[in-house]
Amino acid sequence: MNDSILGLHHITAIANNAQRNYDFYTHVLGLRLVKKTVNFDDPSTYHFYYGNEGGTPGTILTFFPWEGIGSGRNGTGMATEIGYSVPADSLDNWLGRFKELGVGAGELAERFGEQYLPFTDPDGLAIALIVPKQLDKRKGWETEAIKEDMALRGFHTVTLTLQKIEATAKVLTDIFGYRLVAQEGNRYRFQTDAVPEAALVDLLEEPEGRVGRNAAGTNHHVAFRVANDAVQMEFREKILESGLQITPKIDRDYFFSLYFREPGGVLFEIATDNPGFTVDEPLDELGTHLKLPRQYEGSRAKIEKALPVLKSL
Ligand code: ZN
């Protein structure tokens, strides 16, 4: 199955304050900061990658924290909810932790026969912790506060909100190899059989929905995973053949990327497993150094001075 789309690779969202973002994802949620780098197009802004121990594709949530950026608004043409897989029986503990730490959480609810807990991060980004029907065998990152019985395993689903789902569904089924597996009201669940986890995409149809605005607290793009750049280029051809525009291959240091806007308005990326996050830091030191793209290494002192100081908890 190596020539398939292997589920989700990463999701990238926008935040405001870098320290607040770092504290929330590492302390409150217990994720590992696996890479601390800067925005390729704007080296005065951080780019944070949070994931499991090694930043395995399917576990990676990344942020551009833009100090002082206004709040965005979820709406159509966007990824509007990130679903993380968590262990069975952990949701009550999570609800307790969120109450204790003042996190804006909703009520426990059920979707497609699975219990979930919706909440928002400090910028208003919508996330859900979901107990999957099938045992998720991925190992979560452990911290002082979050042990294996609560740790986030990685992505379960991403939800895309669309005025019409048909054309987006066609990209998922005809190009990416997903199939429609369930429907509840206006929510349509698509799944790939190529991987056991991070294999779901929900399309939420809202014909009267307002178009979203991309700023703090909203998702910027959704990256799908391929094994390597040879497979990636085969998908590039398929996407061009379908009549959509797509970028050339871009080297992102930790993976190679292609970007295209799917017909419903969501920015999609196709990202490779190679070379991965250990290309410039050993596994046990991931996220502990400020890593700069090669073209900025010469201006390191200036860049370090311009970036906000980040304190570890
Ligand atoms: Zn990306």
pLDDT tens column, 159-207: 999 999 999 999 999 999 999 999 999 999 999 999 999 999 999 999 9
88 alpha carbon to ligand 1 midpoint, in Å? 30
Q: Give the pLDDT confidence of 228-244 residue by residue, as tens digits.
A: 999 999 999 999 999 99
113 alpha carbon to ligand 1 midpoint, in Å? 31
CA dihedral sign of residues 97, 100, 103, 106: positive
221 alpha carbon to ligand 1 midpoint, in Å? 6
In this model, does residue 147 exceed pLDDT 60?
yes
Identify whether the C-beta of residue 152 lies closer than 8 Å to the C-beta of residue 142.
no
What is the pLDDT, as a whole number, of residue 148? 96
The number of helices, as runs of H, and strands, as runs of E, in the chain is 5, 16
269 alpha carbon to ligand 1 midpoint, in Å? 6
86 alpha carbon to ligand 1 midpoint, in Å? 23
58 alpha carbon to ligand 1 midpoint, in Å? 12
Q: Give the pLDDT confidence of 260-286 residue by residue, as tens digits.
A: 999 999 999 999 999 999 999 999 999
220 alpha carbon to ligand 1 midpoint, in Å? 8
34 alpha carbon to ligand 1 midpoint, in Å? 15
Over residues 195-222, mean pLDDT: 98
- Rounded CA-CA distance 211/62 in Å is 23
Environment of ion ligand 1 (residues, CB < 5 A): 12, 223, 269
- At 1, the pLDDT band (50, 70, 90 cuts) reads low
CA distances from 296 to 95, 227, 250, 278, 301 (A): 42, 28, 17, 19, 10
User: What's the one-letter identity of residue 91?
Assistant: L
List, in sequence order, the alpha helices (H) in 41-170: 91-101, 166-170
Question: Across the chain, what does the average pLDDT equal?
Answer: 97
What is the pLDDT, as a whole number, of residue 25? 98
218 alpha carbon to ligand 1 midpoint, in Å? 14
Is the CATH number of domain 8-306 3.10.180.10?
yes
The whole-model pTM stands at 0.97
Q: Where are the domains of the chain?
A: 8-306
